[in-house]
């Protein structure tokens, strides 16, 4: 039987890093808002934001939510940096292991940090990783994949604006050199020049996690013209509420059915703290959930 559940994430409320200062809403406020909006799960956000161990378990169980996974970026381009960062991976997997059990386990969402050139000019216009560096880069991603599997988790790699794996060609190279599953993010792919519906079909056998996100290429073009970076692009609304950008959401849902996708579907709307009120963010995510429900998810 195919199991699919819909989750949301702290990034939709501007919660990216604990070092950014006090979050715009508390973890209890966030899980309550998402539960009331009809979500079945939540992404961890920055490790520790939702708590760890029994605190995490009690918080999510109290709201009736499951943990869908969480972001872990590692410097795959840097051999020494990668080795030093492995405790970050272990700490994240410890958090996932403590999450409430469910029929869909959390998926470690592995990624690489931003590069200065691509973060400054997101969207596939800045140079990527040199071809000679790809084999070692991919080997470290494969190593992380095996480490996750050894702990009982199947990871998914998240392509992302501003990083070494940004464009459709980057994703193709990653899939060629590793056996890691893909976290297909419709918004990041759209703004990197890709077609999310065609990508779902082309990469169907490797898609293990899905982030449903809208994107506005007009905002991207203006951001590039103004010389602002990825963070400001998010602040300007480059990732729009579902239905307000260019994503063909009905076609995405139909294609998920066509390819027999089973797993987490995580609605995200990357934004910056302070650009919208907490009440607006809560309303956006409730509306996003209704849009997917109207399409049968």
Report whether 70 contacts 109 (CB < 8 A). Answer: yes
Average pLDDT of span 197-208: 98
d(CA 207, CA 2): 15
Q: How many helices (H) and strands (E) does the chain have?
A: 12, 8
d(CA 7, CA 5): 7
Which conformational region is residue 140 in: left (phi greater than 0), alpha (psi within -120 to 50 degrees), or beta?
alpha
**pLDDT tens-digit profile of 146-194?**
999 999 999 999 999 999 999 999 999 999 999 999 999 999 999 999 9
Quickly list H helices, the chain.
27-36, 53-63, 79-97, 116-120, 134-150, 168-177, 186-191, 196-202, 217-226, 230-235, 249-258, 278-294
d(CA 273, CA 14): 4
Quote the distance between the C-alpha of residue 83 and its chain's center.
23
Which pLDDT score, from 0 to 100, does residue 273 have? 85
Q: Does the pTM of the predicted model rise above 0.95?
A: yes
Which pLDDT score, from 0 to 100, does residue 1 have? 60
Which pLDDT score, from 0 to 100, does residue 19 have? 75
Q: Nearest 5°: CA angle at 68, between 7 and 202?
A: 80
**pLDDT tens-digit profile of 218-270?**
999 999 999 999 999 999 999 999 999 999 999 999 999 999 999 999 999 99
């Amino acid at each position: 039987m195919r199991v699919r559940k819909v989750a949301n994430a702290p990034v939709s409320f501007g919660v990216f890093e604990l070092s950014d200062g006090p979050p715009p809403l508390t973890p209890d406020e966030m899980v309550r808002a998402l539960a009331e909006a009809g979500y079945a799960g939540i992404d961890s956000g920055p490790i520790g934001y939702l708590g760890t161990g029994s605190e995490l378990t009690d918080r999510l169980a109290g709201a009736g939510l499951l943990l869908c996974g969480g972001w872990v970026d590692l410097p795959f381009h840097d051999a020494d940096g990668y080795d030093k960062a492995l405790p970050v991976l272990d700490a994240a997997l410890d958090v996932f292991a403590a999450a409430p059990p469910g029929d869909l386990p959390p998926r470690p969402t592995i990624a690489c940090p931003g590069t200065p050139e691509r973060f400054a000019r997101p969207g596939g216009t800045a140079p990527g990783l040199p071809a000679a560096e790809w084999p070692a880069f991919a080997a470290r991603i494969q190593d992380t994949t095996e480490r996750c599997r050894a702990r009982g988790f199947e990871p998914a790699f998240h392509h992302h604006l501003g990083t070494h794996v940004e464009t459709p060609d980057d994703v193709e190279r990653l899939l060629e050199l590793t056996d890691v599953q893909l976290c297909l993010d419709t918004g990041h792919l759209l703004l990197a020049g890709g077609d999310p519906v065609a990508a779902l079909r082309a990469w169907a056998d490797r898609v293990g996690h899905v982030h449903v996100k809208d994107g506005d290429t007009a905002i991207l073009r203006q951001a590039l013209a103004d010389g602002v970076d990825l963070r400001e692009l998010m602040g300007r609304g480059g990732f729009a509420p579902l239905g307000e950008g260019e994503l063909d959401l009905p076609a995405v849902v139909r294609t998920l059915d066509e390819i027999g996708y089973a797993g987490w579907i995580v609605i995200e709307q990357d934004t910056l703290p302070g650009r919208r009120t907490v009440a607006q963010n809560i309303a956006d995510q409730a509306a996003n959930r209704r849009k997917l429900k109207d399409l049968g998810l």
